[in-house]
Structure 1
Amino acid sequence: MSTMPLLEAEGLHTYYGPSHILHGVSLRVLPGQAVALMGRNGMGKTTTLRSIMGLTPPRRGRVRVRGTDVTGWPAHRVARAGIAYVPEDRGIFPNLSVRENLLMAARPGRDGRTDWHYEGVLELFPRLRERLSNMGHQLSGGEQQMLTIARALLTNPDLILLDEATEGLAPLMRREIWGIIARIKAAGVAAVIVDKDLKALAELADWNVILEKGRVVWEGRSEALLADPELHRRHLGV
């Protein structure tokens, strides 16, 4: 794994109107690395991802992708730099079919790579192959999440940002999604993952970051995180 960061978020201060949400958040992701972003509800996890993606630009701080300063870039330019975003609300097109949702996103990566293509993602998501003619609004929550992840992969990203990866899904579907995320990581795609499943996150992540009230209060490896129940109680409520 390269030691040159793929993503660097440095000292991010982000606001919604007058509300100061992020207070100097810093985050680094290496190529192929999975980073878990943890914290209770309302602590700034989604805002961190939106700040990186350019959807809610920080007022202070910098975001760099492979050393290039992308702070202030519109989201579509950040995406073209190799960053894909799976939002908490999934953002699929409800009045397009599954096939149309997938094909509208498909394109080579920033360096012309086409590792992830239409047939390839259908092999990864066989459930979507069965639903190709269904409209987006006809899918279950888990199927919508699969569609959102598949659509993100079809942009051939270097890094995927997953917000609430398994939120609200049934246990069997959660396990299926975690298995898919593990396969994506094994294929070399870096990830920043937000979820409430501490055990699943820790098993997958190379590095873990905990936010509280818009600040990084702890970061470290999964072994240290799992060995400290007081840390869970204090910052994660588990």
Structure 2
Amino acid sequence: MSNMLLEAKEIHTYYGASHILHGIDFNIREGEGIALMGRNGMGKSTLIKSMLGIVRPRHGRVLVRGDDYTRARTFQTAQQGIAYVPEGRGIFKSLSVRENLLMSARAGVDGRREWTFDRVMETFPRLGERINNGGWQLSGGEQQMLTIGRALMTNPDLLILDEATEGLAPLIAMEIWRIVKEIRKTGIATVIVDKNHGAVTSICDRAMILVKGQVVFDGTSDEIRAQPELIQKHLGV
């Protein structure tokens, strides 16, 4: 259990009277990649927010490295080496690219500083070209690169990407996937939500499918790719 990073046990989450998550179990180990899949409105973002304390589960427990973080505040959970790239990106549009990156810079839980400003610049050369531009001056793809770069500046052990390539042009999406593959190679555990199930399962070790707030599949990426009928049933348009 020592290498378990983040766990959710029997999570039930509500928005008002609406019961969104119905007893979900989730876990991710150090260095593991999980594709979190499902159609819109099935609970993927709610599960992420429930584990990070952005939304409070009504029942169940959240464990970080085996310790109970069910009632922890979001910043306390983040300080355990968890970085979140939200749907909508959440960059500070009034700050420059440089300021967005530097404001999040810190050592990892074990004191690591592998992801420096210079390394982020090497990984995202496009950001270097925009370094003094305000966040509001960036394209959608550049904003996504900035959000991922900002998350990496915290030297995380776990990176959560919600809608990694949502709304991006195909060439920009390909660049994001290339970068995510490079991040995976460094050993950072990753949870990725994205509609491109082919891309996301090729990057991740495991896949989970949510339907109406319940897990209907949890297995290896090879297993899900071998069951195209399951993909069609739960993810097809």
Distance 2:92 2:172 in 1: 21
Distance 2:156 2:64 in 1: 12
Question: What does residue range 104-183 of structure 1 map to in structure 2 within 5 Å?
Answer: 104-183=103-182
Contiguous gaps of at least 5 residues in structure 2 = none
Change (3 A) 1:130 1:88: same
Amino acid at match of 1:100: E
Other structure's SS at 1:129 match: helix
String of CA shifts for 1:37-76, please: whole Å, max 9, x gaps. Answer: 0000000000011011110021111111111111111111
Q: What residue is the counterpart of 2:7 in the other structure? A: 8
Deviation at residue 3 of structure 1 after TM alignment: 7.1
Distance 1:161 1:72 in 2: 20
Question: What does residue range 146-225 of structure 1 map to in structure 2 within 5 Å?
Answer: 146-225=145-224
Q: What residue is the counterpart of 2:82 in the other structure? A: 83
Amino acid at match of 1:166: T
Distance 1:41 1:76 in 2: 27
Percent of pairs with identical residues: 58
Deviation at residue 5 of structure 1 after TM alignment: 1.2
Contiguous gaps of at least 5 residues in structure 1 = none
Other structure's SS at 1:114 match: coil
Distance 1:137 1:157 in 2: 26
Answering whether residue 101 of structure 2 is matched by residue 92 of structure 1, we say no
Distance 1:107 1:72 in 2: 24
Distance 1:223 1:135 in 2: 42
Amino acid at match of 2:149: A
String of CA shifts for 1:93-140, please: whole Å, max 9, x gaps. Answer: 011100010010101112211111111111111110100010001100
Distance 2:46 2:191 in 1: 13
Change (3 A) 1:92 1:63: same
Q: What residue is the counterpart of 1:63 in the other structure? A: 62
String of CA shifts for 1:190-216, please: whole Å, max 9, x gaps. Answer: 011000001001101100000000000
Q: What residue is the counterpart of 1:228 in the other structure? A: 227
**Runs of 4+, deviation exceeding 6 Å:** none
String of CA shifts for 1:68-91, please: whole Å, max 9, x gaps. Answer: 111111111011011110000100
The total of aligned residue pairs comes to 237
String of CA shifts for 1:1-45, please: whole Å, max 9, x gaps. Answer: x97311111111111111111001111111011000000000000
Please tell me whether the aligned partners of residues 37 and 208 of structure 2 are also in contact (alpha carbons under 8 angstroms). Answer: yes
Query: Given the two structures, how large is their TM-score scaled by the length of structure 2?
Result: 0.98
Deviation at residue 228 of structure 1 after TM alignment: 1.3
Query: Given the two structures, how large is their TM-score scaled by the length of structure 1?
Result: 0.97
